[in-house]
Amino acid sequence: MVEVPMEEEDVDPKDKRPVASTPVPGSPWCVVWTGDDRVFFFNPTIQLSVWDQPVDLKDRGEDLNRIIEDPPHKRKKDSLSTEDGSNSPSADDDDADDEDEHYSKTKRNKLEEPVDGNEDLRERAGAETCDSPPHRTVLPLGLRITHFRDMLLERGVSAFSTWEKELHKIVFDPRYLLLNSAEERKQVFEQFVKVRMKEEHKEKQSKLLQAKDQYRKLLEESKITSRSTFKDFSVKYGRDQRFKQVLKKKDQEHFFNQFINGLKKRDKENRMRLRKMR
């Protein structure tokens, strides 16, 4: 995914700054309006702003249109201009215009107030506000990498696959843009899969041990004898959840045979003990 840069226009830089914002209900995104009537989307949770509609909002077309078509700053402006109940010119028009202009400037100045010269507005706004201009992020690199790794994990990226094959799972996630280049993203991906290979191996072994333990309890409860066969056992108990937890048939049969061998050994020891007693 390539982030489209802002078009260079012959517009006062102040007009490109945010002047109003509205949260999108039920989502982490906000709709933000700039002074030149452009609209972008900002996610304060991950400090990300994008011009294009986020994939998270792809099914919110009607809701977004209602929000975008009703800019709060213009709504306030219109309500101020019609408070006198008349649209015709009057002697008070100049005063109303001055008051309106004063209100707008106050609102704009509040949003546009710089910090330490030309620092990005998002640094001032913080994670709780939607009024941030389109910018990749100002989060520390370590935190961006953490968010990127969380995305890889949440999207089910396989540790035994390749970057090219797994790319389709993450390319539309907003966190994909937290890192600046394809090379940087791929490097974090490679580090992620190395760690995940070890973790997945441990998780797999842990699940198998738990499944084996439950399977053994089923064998004990089934009261099978040393002469029982795996076929008979699987027919009778194949629908039991503890049977199904051992996913591979060869493992099911292997654990069964281990248990049967234990029974045979116990039976042999019992016979020898009886002979000695005679």
| Domain presence at residue 101 | yes
| Domain presence at residue 112 | yes
Q: When comparing pLDDT for 200 and 126, which is higher?
A: 200
Q: When comparing pLDDT for 163 and 15, which is higher?
A: 163
In the predicted model, what is the mean pLDDT of residues 223-229?
Answer: 92
Q: Looking at residue 224, what is its pLDDT?
A: 92
**150 in the same domain as 66:** no
Domain total in the chain: 3
The CATH number that applies at residue 260 is: 1.10.10
**74 in the same domain as 107:** yes
CA distance 45 to 170: 18
| Domain presence at residue 131 | no
Q: Looking at residue 109, what is its pLDDT?
A: 42
Q: Fill in the DSSP letter of residue 56.
A: G
Q: Looking at residue 130, what is its pLDDT?
A: 57
**255 in the same domain as 171:** no
| Domain presence at residue 130 | no
Lowest mean pLDDT among 8-12, 62-66, 173-177, 185-189: 8-12
For residue 8, pLDDT over 50 is answered with no
Q: Looking at residue 77, what is its pLDDT?
A: 59
Q: Give the pLDDT band of residue 231 (cuts 50, 70, 90).
A: very high
**185 in the same domain as 234:** no
Q: Which of 125, 149, 164 is the last residue of a domain?
A: 125
Mean model confidence pLDDT for the chain: 77
**20 in the same domain as 94:** yes
Q: Nearest CA to 182 among 6, 233, 47, 190?
A: 190
Q: Looking at residue 55, what is its pLDDT?
A: 80
Q: Judge whether 18 and 10 are in contact, CB under 8 Å.
A: no
**247 in the same domain as 178:** no
pLDDT tens-digit readout, 185-216: 999 999 999 999 998 889 888 988 999 999 99
**117 in the same domain as 59:** yes
For residue 38, pLDDT over 60 is answered with yes
Q: Looking at residue 255, what is its pLDDT?
A: 93
Could you give phi then psi for residue 40, rounded to 5 degrees? -135, 175
**191: domain range?**
141-201
| Domain presence at residue 121 | yes
| Domain presence at residue 93 | yes
In the predicted model, what is the mean pLDDT of residues 244-270?
Answer: 92
Q: Give the pLDDT band of residue 88 (cuts 50, 70, 90).
A: very low
Q: Is 133 exposed, middle or buried (0-12, 13-18, 19+ CB in 10 A)?
A: middle
Q: Which of 97, 125, 153 is the last residue of a domain?
A: 125
**145 in the same domain as 119:** no
Q: Which of 95, 125, 155 is the last residue of a domain?
A: 125
Q: When comparing pLDDT for 78 and 239, which is higher?
A: 239
* CA dihedral sign of residues 166, 171, 175, 180: positive
Residue corresponding to tokens 């890192």: 179
> What Å distances lie between residue 203 and 183, 190, 214, 225, CA to CA?
30, 20, 17, 33
| Domain presence at residue 191 | yes
**118 in the same domain as 154:** no
The CATH number that applies at residue 164 is: 1.10.10.440
**191 in the same domain as 114:** no
For residue 221, pLDDT over 80 is answered with yes
